[in-house]
């Protein structure tokens, strides 16, 4: 064995041991192995399989599922351009092409010397400061042609990432409007003391009184979910904080984790006290890996303050601690059962439900999965009580909501409002430029036209997980929907046929229309596929994948129609175009040329 191979194997064994040889930590082990070995080579798989007693196929299945784990060599510098529509609007594709040209690379290609690779990736959650890129999973925002040139020089000079200018990696919070969460002070331990004074049943009562609803999208009542978990049989329970934040256009959880992490962790601990959980996981999307170090420091601080660990706040038997797990580039892992699969070190495919996580979640034990913002809200309810909380917002949507505003506006960033705020008010506050549409709640959400700007952000009107993308009058809403169609085709986990096949067909149909070869047939087909996927996909990804197409077809139909051919149907495969080159080479242009028949 070569010396370098032996060293690498030693490092891999150390990683496996540091992770207690636990197959549930396989995804974390693969991350760490990739950090050491650059990619998950067959040798890495063999060592992991041998040392952990796992079949290689099990390890390969995990490595191949996640976009940020590489089963083929990638460059020492792995550059990924965020491909959300707002990054595109800020000029990301021209910058991508500029960098590819300067580095003499095609998308996905690794340079011959193995130094660098460049590609696109799904939204990196930096829409308020795009165009953004990831270099070896470190976010760089506000890209310009000059910055592209500088980065090309740094790469060519093989300058270690640690020596790149620090201001490249600055991620701003951009808090534009603060309310009861973003604008209040946090005194560590206050919420826990208040929760302890109420007791678990008292906390459940306050959460229900508050009518707190989950901020992750579905708006499920937090108190009801927590109660179901508390009442589920068994002694071991878990709290999971969903920080996967993969919905294009959403970045509020990034800010909460960057500048309000203590509240997130204390919120998790209050939730643990309420349901009787002994352990918590923060599932952090890989795009936010830059936060990992600071989050670990915050956890250590809270352990030292007795806000985590054993006998928390001096209460005998109140034991709870939090572990951070890194995702690896899979939007579907935001779906709570897929997230649990991923936490267990498996490919993140949504489970068949029931059973629901509250009775059978992580490791088959009762588990509450909550969004980052929901856990911050849990803290507010603990401190101020349900009656106070219920008085804010609307009847069915109590409290405030943080909205991530991006796109065509003067002041992109976070805006916190009491629920019920009108879309027009948000547009006014952010300085929207001649808006014709707003995509609320991300690619899977709702596209509102000008006529609907009087509607309210609330579960009873326009529900929102947080994204608010503004489109000005120069924007082409067909292209917005096409970008989303490609996002879903890329992110479908492939488990169920309606979504696996449907998202690919939809992306192809949109490309065909974009190429000017679409007809009324394709328009009808898009609507038919929307119905099929909405009603028969296994999880929310497939069920919502065509929402934007459906909405834009109703509200921005001319953006589709002006691309259509005035015929009933145009075949997707253009035989003449495919044969043109051969005809040129053979010098034959007769009707039988492709049939092998003599002219």
Ligand X SMILES: Cc1cc2nc3c(=O)[nH]c(=O)nc-3n(C[C@H](O)[C@H](O)[C@H](O)COP(=O)(O)O)c2cc1C
Name which of ligand SF4, ligand X, none residue 446 binds, using a CB cut-off of 5 to 8 Å depending on partner kind: none
Nearer to ligand SF4, 350 or 413 (CB): 350
Name which of ligand SF4, ligand X, none residue 40 binds, using a CB cut-off of 5 to 8 Å depending on partner kind: none
CB of 487 to ligand SF4, least distance (A): 12
Nearer to ligand X, 148 or 447 (CB): 447
Q: Does 245 bind ligand X (CB under 6 A)?
A: yes
Burial class (CB within 10 angstroms; exposed 0-12, middle 13-18, buried 19+) of 525: middle
CB of 340 to ligand X, least distance (A): 10
Query: Of these, 244, 380, 429, 551, which contacts ligand X (CB under 6 A)?
Result: 244
Nearer to ligand X, 273 or 453 (CB): 273
Which long-range contacts link 481-485 to residues 24+ away (Cβ below 8 Å)?
481/447, 481/510, 481/548, 481/549, 481/552, 482/507, 482/510, 482/511, 482/514, 483/83, 483/84, 483/85, 483/88, 484/85, 484/248, 484/443, 484/548, 484/549, 485/510, 485/545, 485/546, 485/548, 485/549
Which long-range contacts link 54-61 to residues 24+ away (Cβ below 8 Å)?
54/23, 54/26, 58/26, 59/26, 59/30, 61/346, 61/347
Across the beta sheet with 133-135, the strand order is 116-121, 77-82, 133-135, 138-140
CB of 246 to ligand X, least distance (A): 5
Query: Of these, 28, 371, 483, 552, which contacts ligand X (CB under 6 A)?
Result: 371
Q: Stretches 176-184, 317-325, 368-376, 420-428: which one binds ligand X (CB under 6 A)?
A: 368-376
Name which of ligand X, ligand SF4, none residue 244 binds, using a CB cut-off of 5 to 8 Å depending on partner kind: ligand X
Question: What 8-state DSSP symbol labels residue 559?
Answer: H
Nearer to ligand SF4, 298 or 492 (CB): 492
Whether the bond between 354 and the residue before it is cis, its omega within 30 degrees of 0, is: yes
Name which of ligand X, ligand SF4, none residue 538 binds, using a CB cut-off of 5 to 8 Å depending on partner kind: ligand SF4
CB of 377 to ligand X, least distance (A): 9
Burial class (CB within 10 angstroms; exposed 0-12, middle 13-18, buried 19+) of 266: buried
Q: Does 541 bind ligand X (CB under 6 A)?
A: yes
Query: Of these, 181, 210, 369, 510, which contacts ligand X (CB under 6 A)?
Result: 369
Query: Of these, 539, 546, 548, 549, which contacts ligand X (CB under 6 A)?
Result: 539
Nearer to ligand SF4, 360 or 492 (CB): 492
- Indicate the SS3 state at residue 371: strand
Nearer to ligand X, 25 or 215 (CB): 215
Nearest to 486 by CA among 62, 74, 93, 215: 93
Cα 275 to Cα 203: distance, rounded to the nearest angstrom: 9
**Beta strands 435-440; 467-472: pairing state:** antiparallel
Cα 142 to Cα 90: distance, rounded to the nearest angstrom: 9
Query: Of these, 370, 397, 464, 483, which contacts ligand X (CB under 6 A)?
Result: 370
Name which of ligand SF4, ligand X, none residue 537 binds, using a CB cut-off of 5 to 8 Å depending on partner kind: ligand SF4
Nearer to ligand SF4, 117 or 337 (CB): 337
Name which of ligand SF4, ligand X, none residue 216 binds, using a CB cut-off of 5 to 8 Å depending on partner kind: ligand X
Do the beta carbons of residue 105 and residue 118 sit within 8 Å? yes
Please give the full DSSP string across 293-340, using - where no structure is assigned.
HHHHHHHHHHHHTTSSBSSGGG-TT--BEEEEEE--S-GGGGSHHHHH
Nearer to ligand X, 360 or 374 (CB): 374
| Cα 32 to Cα 27, 48, 292, distances in angstroms | 9, 12, 13
CB of 492 to ligand SF4, least distance (A): 4
Name which of ligand X, ligand SF4, none residue 493 binds, using a CB cut-off of 5 to 8 Å depending on partner kind: ligand SF4
Name which of ligand X, ligand SF4, none residue 80 binds, using a CB cut-off of 5 to 8 Å depending on partner kind: none
Tell me the per-residue interface mask from 310 to 349 with ligand X, x by CB under 6 A, - otherwise.
----------------------x-xxx-------------
CB of 537 to ligand SF4, least distance (A): 4
Residues that bind ligand SF4 (CB under 6 A): 332, 350, 492-496, 499-500, 537-539, 541-542
Nearer to ligand SF4, 68 or 488 (CB): 488
Nearest to 235 by CA among 190, 277, 266, 181: 277
Nearer to ligand SF4, 332 or 470 (CB): 332
Name which of ligand X, ligand SF4, none residue 492 binds, using a CB cut-off of 5 to 8 Å depending on partner kind: ligand SF4
Which are the contacts of 369, defined by CB distance < 8 A and separation ≥ 6? Answer: 240, 242, 336, 339, 340, 357, 361
- Give CA 398 to chain center in angstroms: 25
Nearer to ligand SF4, 103 or 526 (CB): 526
Question: What 8-state DSSP symbol labels residue 188?
Answer: T
Geometric angle at alpha carbon 429, from 428 and 430, rounded to 5°: 95
Whether the bond between 355 and the residue before it is cis, its omega within 30 degrees of 0, is: yes
Nearer to ligand X, 287 or 522 (CB): 287
Going 469 to 472 to 474 to 476, the CA torsion angle's sign is positive
Name which of ligand X, ligand SF4, none residue 131 binds, using a CB cut-off of 5 to 8 Å depending on partner kind: none
Footprint on residues 181-240 left by ligand X (CB under 6 A): 214-218, 220
Phi, psi of 275 (to 5 degrees): -95, -10
Nearer to ligand X, 214 or 445 (CB): 214
Nearer to ligand SF4, 430 or 493 (CB): 493
Cα 544 to Cα 551: distance, rounded to the nearest angstrom: 11
Do the beta carbons of residue 520 and residue 587 sit within 8 Å? no
CB of 488 to ligand SF4, least distance (A): 8
Tell me the per-residue interface mask from 465 to 504 with ligand X, x by CB under 6 A, - otherwise.
----------------------------------------
Q: Does 309 bind ligand X (CB under 6 A)?
A: no
Q: Does 381 bind ligand X (CB under 6 A)?
A: no
Question: What 8-state DSSP symbol labels residue 456?
Answer: B
Nearest to 141 by CA among 129, 151, 123: 129
Interface residues toward ligand X, by CB under 6 A: 214-218, 220, 242, 244-247, 332, 334-336, 369-371, 374, 539-541
């Amino acid at each position: 064995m070569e010396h370098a191979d032996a060293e690498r194997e030693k490092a891999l064994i150390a990683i496996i041991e540091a992770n207690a040889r636990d197959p549930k930590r396989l995804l974390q082990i693969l991350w760490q192995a990739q950090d050491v070995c650059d990619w998950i080579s067959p040798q890495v798989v063999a060592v992991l399989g041998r040392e952990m007693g796992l079949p290689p196929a099990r390890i390969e299945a995990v490595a191949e599922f996640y976009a940020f784990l590489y089963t083929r060599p990638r460059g020492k510098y792995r550059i990924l351009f965020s491909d959300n529509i707002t990054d595109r609007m800020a000029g990301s594709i021209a910058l991508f092409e500029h960098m590819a040209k300067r580095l003499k690379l095609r998308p996905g290609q690794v340079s011959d010397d193995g130094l660098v690779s460049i590609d696109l990736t799904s939204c990196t959650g930096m829409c308020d400061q795009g165009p953004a890129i990831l270099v070896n999973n470190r976010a760089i925002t506000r890209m310009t042609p000059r910055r592209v040139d500088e980065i090309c020089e740094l790469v060519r000079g093989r300058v270690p990432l640690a020596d790149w200018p620090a201001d490249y990696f600055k991620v701003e919070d951009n808090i534009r409007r603060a309310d009861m969460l973003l604008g209040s002070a946090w005194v560590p331990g206050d919420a826990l003391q208040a929760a302890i004074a109420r007791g678990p049943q008292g906390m459940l009562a306050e959460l229900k009184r508050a009518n707190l609803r989950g901020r992750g999208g579905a708006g499920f009542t937090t108190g009801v979910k927590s109660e179901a978990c508390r009442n589920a049989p068994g002694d071991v329970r878990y709290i999971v904080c969903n920080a996967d934040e993969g919905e294009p256009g959403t970045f509020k959880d990034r800010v909460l984790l960057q500048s309000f992490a203590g509240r997130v962790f204390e919120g998790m601990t209050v939730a643990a006290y309420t349901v009787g959980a002994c352990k918590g996981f923060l599932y952090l999307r890989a795009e936010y890996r830059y936060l990992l170090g600071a989050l670990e420091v915050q956890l250590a601080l809270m352990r030292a303050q007795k806000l985590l660990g054993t006998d928390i706040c001096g209460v005998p038997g109140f034991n709870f601690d939090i572990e951070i797990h890194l995702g690896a580039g899979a939007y579907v892992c935001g779906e709570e059962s897929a997230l649990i699969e991923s936490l267990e070190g498996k490919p993140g495919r949504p489970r068949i439900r029931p059973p629901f996580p509250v009775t059978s979640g992580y490791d088959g034990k009762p588990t509450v999965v909550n969004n980052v913002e929901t856990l911050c809200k849990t803290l507010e309810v603990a401190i101020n009580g349900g009656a106070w909380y219920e008085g804010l917002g609307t009847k069915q949507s109590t409290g405030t909501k943080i909205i991530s505003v991006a796109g065509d506006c003067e002041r992109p960033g976070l805006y916190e409002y009491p629920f019920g705020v009108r879309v027009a008010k948000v547009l006014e506050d952010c300085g929207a430029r001649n808006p014709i549409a707003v995509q609320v709640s991300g690619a899977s959400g709702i596209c509102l036209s000008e006529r609907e700007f009087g509607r309210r952000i609330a579960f009873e009107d326009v529900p929102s997980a947080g994204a608010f993308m503004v489109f000005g009058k120069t924007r082409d809403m067909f292209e917005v929907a096409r970008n989303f169609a490609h996002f879903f085709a890329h992110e479908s986990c492939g488990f169920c046929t309606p979504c696996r096949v449907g998202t690919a067909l939809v992306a192809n149909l949109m490309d065909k229309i974009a190429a000017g070869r679409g007809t009324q047939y394709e328009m009808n087909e898009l609507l038919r596929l929307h119905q099929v996927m909405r009603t028969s996909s296994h999880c929310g990804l497939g069920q919502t994948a065509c929402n934007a197409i459906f909405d834009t077809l109703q509200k921005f139909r001319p953006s589709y129609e002006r691309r259509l051919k005035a015929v009933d149907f145009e075949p997707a495969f253009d035989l003449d175009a495919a044969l043109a080159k051969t005809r040129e080479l053979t010098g034959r242009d007769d009707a039988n040329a492709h049939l092998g028949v003599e002219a």
